[in-house]
């Protein structure tokens, strides 16, 4: 080896590395600019979210979380809330599940097609739990080099800790009905508009309530009358997409069952969203339509599907378990203090 070769080789590697880092940053900025041009503005895809959502500082970080998640096909970001959602489907696959919502931007998985920058963790050393996404370097931060010794877990909303091990979500108040769990929320101080109620349900991994039959309608009424009997309550029904053609939040048409107040729905184009009337109304516990931006509806009902949990463990009121599993669409005794936990889940529900 010629004298000084090792020193020259080291300097060459150092220079190449510096140039490569500059090129990566310049390339990333160019790809970000292109991604923003192709983003679908003021659109959000519902029903296909992976986990809950993530709070990140930049849409590029949201792109990174999508690329680090095998099942992610698209992502959406709302800068005002720094909120990132990753989806296992696309708007092209489910156009009826796309809703207009101001402030959101929707992107395809490969919106930023810049390879080698996503910094995945080695699978065997991924410490993240509860849907946390592991990366050795989160983009758009001060960290410039991957850290494989102490990777970063980006936690979904409701979880925290180095490994996303702590669950801070509300587990109380969900009631089972068939293959779904329902919960009524009420807020007299700051009532939510329809889209705000929709977003609040989505934060729970749920949708606004879909009441396609009398049995489900009566079940939700019972919940409402226990929680918010004197309030109007948003349900997941509107004709916002096509005037006069009411559809449920899952995209299905209204169908044969309805509980309209006499004379409604009316033909006023600004009354697109549906609520249930309070107990003291002239026509109690029936459906009315009103402006989706109204703040005179103080309650809303959310529903989440449980059928993807095929088995469930019943836990008694004392916290003891019968150590048996049961189908997820029913509990064993119907007692109001009996809680049950679907297999492979850390969330509890109760029957009543």
pLDDT at 143: 72
- How many domains is the chain built from? 3
Domain boundary pick from 140, 167, 194: 167
- 42 plus 156 within the same structural domain: yes
In the structure, what pLDDT confidence band is assigned to residue 41 with cuts at 50, 70 and 90?
A: very high
- 251 plus 343 within the same structural domain: no
Mean pLDDT rounded to a whole number for the chain: 78
- 69 plus 123 within the same structural domain: yes
Q: Which of 303, 8, 20, 59 is nearest to 179 (CA)?
A: 303
C-alpha to C-alpha distance for 81 and 65, rounded to whole angstroms: 17
- 139 plus 195 within the same structural domain: no
Least confident of 88-92, 178-182, 209-213: 178-182
User: CATH number of the domain that 275 lies in?
Assistant: 3.10.100.10
- 343 plus 234 within the same structural domain: no
Taking 70 as the threshold, does the pLDDT of residue 344 lie above it?
Answer: no
- 123 plus 106 within the same structural domain: yes
Taking 60 as the threshold, does the pLDDT of residue 329 lie above it?
Answer: no
pLDDT digits (tens, 9 = 90+) for 283-311: 999 999 999 999 999 999 999 876 443 34
Query: The domain containing residue 207 runs over which residues?
Result: 175-305
Q: Which of 44, 25, 256 is nearest to 137 (CA)?
A: 25
Q: Which residue has the higher pLDDT, 185 or 179?
A: 185
- 151 plus 262 within the same structural domain: no
Q: Please, what's the b/e burial string for 320-329 (b: 16 or more CB within 10 A of its CB; e: otherwise)?
A: eeeeeebebe
Q: Is the dihedral of CA 99, 102, 104, 107 positive or negative?
A: positive
Residue 161 lies in a domain: yes
Residue 152 lies in a domain: yes
C-alpha to C-alpha distance for 313 and 305, rounded to whole angstroms: 17
Mean pLDDT of 245-265: 92
Instruction: For the chain, give the secondary structure using H, E and C.
Output: CCCCHHHHHHHHHHHHHHHHHHHHHHHHHHHHHHHHHHCEEEEEECCCECCCCEECCCHHHHHHHHHCCCCCCEEEEEHHHCEEEEECCCCCCCHHHEEEEEEEEEEEHHHCCCCCCCCECCHHHCCCCCCCEEECCCCCCCCCCCCCCCCEEECECCEECCCCCEECCCCCCCEEECCEEEEEEECCCCCCCHHHHHHHHHHCCCEECCCCCHHHHHHHHHHHHHHCCCCCEEEEEECCCCCCCCEECCCCECCCCCCECCCCCCCCCCCCEEEECCCCCCCCCCEEEECCCCCCCCEEEEEEECCCCCEEEEECCCCCEEEEEEECCCCCCCCCCCEEEECCCCCCEECC
Residue 2 lies in a domain: no
- 299 plus 316 within the same structural domain: no
- 113 plus 221 within the same structural domain: no
pLDDT at 306: 65
Q: Which residue has the higher pLDDT, 134 or 147?
A: 134
44 φ/ψ angles, rounded to the nearest 5 degrees = -140, 135
26 φ/ψ angles, rounded to the nearest 5 degrees = -65, -40
Taking 50 as the threshold, does the pLDDT of residue 153 lie above it?
Answer: yes
Mean pLDDT of 143-162: 80
pLDDT at 236: 96
Domain boundary pick from 143, 167, 191: 167
Residue 89 lies in a domain: yes
Residue 3 lies in a domain: no
């Amino acid at each position: 080896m010629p004298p000084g070769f090792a020193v020259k080789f080291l300097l060459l590697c150092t220079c190449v590395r510096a140039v490569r880092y500059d090129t990566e940053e310049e390339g990333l900025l160019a790809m970000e600019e292109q991604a923003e041009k192709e983003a679908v503005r003021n659109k959000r895809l519902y029903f296909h979210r992976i986990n809950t959502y993530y709070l990140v500082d930049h849409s590029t970080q949201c792109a990174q979380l999508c690329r680090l998640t095998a099942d992610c096909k698209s992502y959406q970001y709302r800068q005002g809330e720094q909120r990132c959602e990753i989806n296992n489907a696309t708007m092209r696959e489910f156009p009826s599940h796309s809703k207009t919502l101001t402030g959101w931007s929707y992107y395809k998985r490969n919106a930023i097609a810049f390879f080698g920058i996503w910094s995945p963790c080695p699978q065997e050393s991924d410490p993240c739990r509860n849907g946390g996404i592991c990366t050795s370097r989160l983009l758009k931060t001060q960290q410039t080099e991957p850290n494989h010794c102490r990777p970063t877990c980006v936690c979904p909303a409701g979880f925290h800790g180095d490994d996303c091990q702590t669950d801070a979500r509300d587990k109380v108040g969900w009631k089972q009905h068939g293959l779904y769990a329902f919960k009524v929320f009420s807020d007299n101080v700051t009532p939510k508009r329809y889209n705000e109620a929709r977003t609040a349900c989505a934060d729970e991994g749920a949708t606004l309530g879909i009441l396609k039959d009398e049995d489900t309608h009566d079940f939700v009424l019972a919940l409402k009358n226990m929680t918010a009997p004197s309030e109007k309550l948003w349900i997941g029904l509107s004709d916002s997409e096509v005037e006069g053609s009411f559809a449920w939040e899952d995209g299905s048409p209204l169908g044969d069952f309805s509980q309209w107040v006499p004379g409604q729905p009316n033909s006023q184009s600004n009354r697109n969203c549906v609520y249930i009337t309070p107990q003291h109304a002239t026509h109690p516990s029936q459906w009315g339509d009103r402006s989706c931006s109204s703040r005179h509806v103080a309650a809303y009902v959310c529903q989440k599907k449980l059928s993807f949990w095929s088995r469930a463990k019943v836990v008694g009121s004392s916290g003891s378990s019968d150590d048996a599993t049961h189908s997820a669409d029913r509990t064993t005794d119907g007692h109001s203090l009996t809680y049950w936990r679907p297999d492979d889940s850390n969330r509890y529900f109760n029957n009543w």
